[in-house]
Amino acid sequence: MAANHLTMSLSIALDGYWLDKQLEFSPNTVAKYRYFFRRLIAFLGDVELDQVTTADIRRFLVHLATVPGPSGRILSRRSVHDVWAVLSSFWTWAERELGVPHIIRGKIKAPSYTEKTVEPLTQADVAALLRAADHQRAYSLPNGKRVRSRRPSAARDRAIVLTLLDSGLRVSELCGLTVADYDAARGRLHVRHGKGDKERFVVVGNRTRKAIWVYLVNRGEAKPSDPLFAARTNLPLHRSNLRHILARLGEQAGVPNVHPHRFRHTFAITFLRNGGNPLLLQKLLGHERLETVQVYIRLAEQDIDAGSKYSPADNWGIGG
């Protein structure tokens, strides 16, 4: 029930918002929302909630799109759109709970953005990434001989590349996996906190299962609560670390623009080309609506073949 137009600062109102909303969101969504709210308070100051105007929000969105933030980067148009959605969610809550007018709905149009087309990785791209995961760059000895040493994280990084390829996991989902989340007998991964904090299961093929087995055997004893893919400290990989690992592999392999989401696209398109059902793809990717996978259907529809094997690694014969 709405209060009678309470007067309070933005930060106090946000405390109430989180008491209602925090359990609805995944940890990554909470972190993103909190970042956007911090940027808002840094821009406006911790002013009274009912003093914030539609013009203030317009100026804030323009600021995000034109002025570098703490990271030194300007937010993309897609990110500015996401900020608009987050703020609209907050004022919807504030209108209902605090009786303040909604200063965004019907007053500020959602910022537009162009969805980037992501090129799927090719079979040759993935083979090159796996070779790069195995060995360091070649270097010359004093006698002129060229040698390549094996990378200490070779087994882990091969397993990561193949798992991303075979599962379509988001970067945060892969980083959040524990040893207990992996059912080795079935090749099944339990995603406990997907987008919207929804859980689901995905499966990987035999070659990926072998790569994970090699990694875990070489890694040594790991507790069920340990991260499935661990940093050297045995702590979970952070999303930024994983992006950096993949970008370095891409640089060494001569494959441009290697990032986790590109593996997700590759999985989806290859799944459909190998005869996969769009409804099953929707569930495997963790999308709420079938419309979200339409982009993959359009990309794959020219050459979808009947088939029952969906694993890209198995179909390409990569990783064994």
| Residue of higher predicted confidence among 117 and 34 | 34
Percentages (nearest 5) of helix, strand, coil residues in the chain? 55, 5, 40
pLDDT of residue 311: 72
| Residue 242: partners with Cβ closer than 8 Å, 6 or more residues away | 160, 171, 174, 175, 260
The predicted model scores a pTM of 0.67
Of the pLDDT bands very low, low, confident and very high (cuts 50, 70, 90), residue 48 is very high
Of the pLDDT bands very low, low, confident and very high (cuts 50, 70, 90), residue 81 is very high
Report the chain's mean pLDDT, rounded to a whole number.
86
Q: Would you say residue 303 has pLDDT above 70?
A: no
State the average pLDDT over residues 31-46: 93
Homologous superfamily of the 123-316 domain (CATH): Intergrase catalytic core (1.10.443.10)
Of the pLDDT bands very low, low, confident and very high (cuts 50, 70, 90), residue 6 is low
Q: Would you say residue 309 has pLDDT above 60?
A: no
State the average pLDDT over residues 140-144: 70
Q: What is the DSSP string of 23-46?
A: GGS-HHHHHHHHHHHHHHHHHH-S
Of the pLDDT bands very low, low, confident and very high (cuts 50, 70, 90), residue 308 is very low
Of the pLDDT bands very low, low, confident and very high (cuts 50, 70, 90), residue 277 is confident
Read off the tokens for 1: 């029930």
pLDDT of residue 92: 95
Of the pLDDT bands very low, low, confident and very high (cuts 50, 70, 90), residue 299 is low
Do the domains spanning 10-98 and 123-316 agree at the CATH topology level? Answer: no
Of the pLDDT bands very low, low, confident and very high (cuts 50, 70, 90), residue 280 is confident
Structure confidence by residue, pLDDT tens digits, 153-199:
999 999 999 999 999 999 999 999 999 999 999 999 999 888 777 88
Read off the tokens for 178: 């524990």
Of the pLDDT bands very low, low, confident and very high (cuts 50, 70, 90), residue 138 is low
Rounded Cα gap, residues 226 and 238, in angstroms = 14
State the average pLDDT over residues 266-271: 88
| Residue of higher predicted confidence among 7 and 79 | 79
Q: For residues 231 and 186, is the Cβ–Cβ distance under 8 A?
A: no
The residues that are catalytic are 170, 195, 261, 264, 287, 296
Q: What is 10-98's CATH number?
A: 1.10.150
User: Among all chains, which residue has been given the structure tokens 């959040």?
Assistant: 176
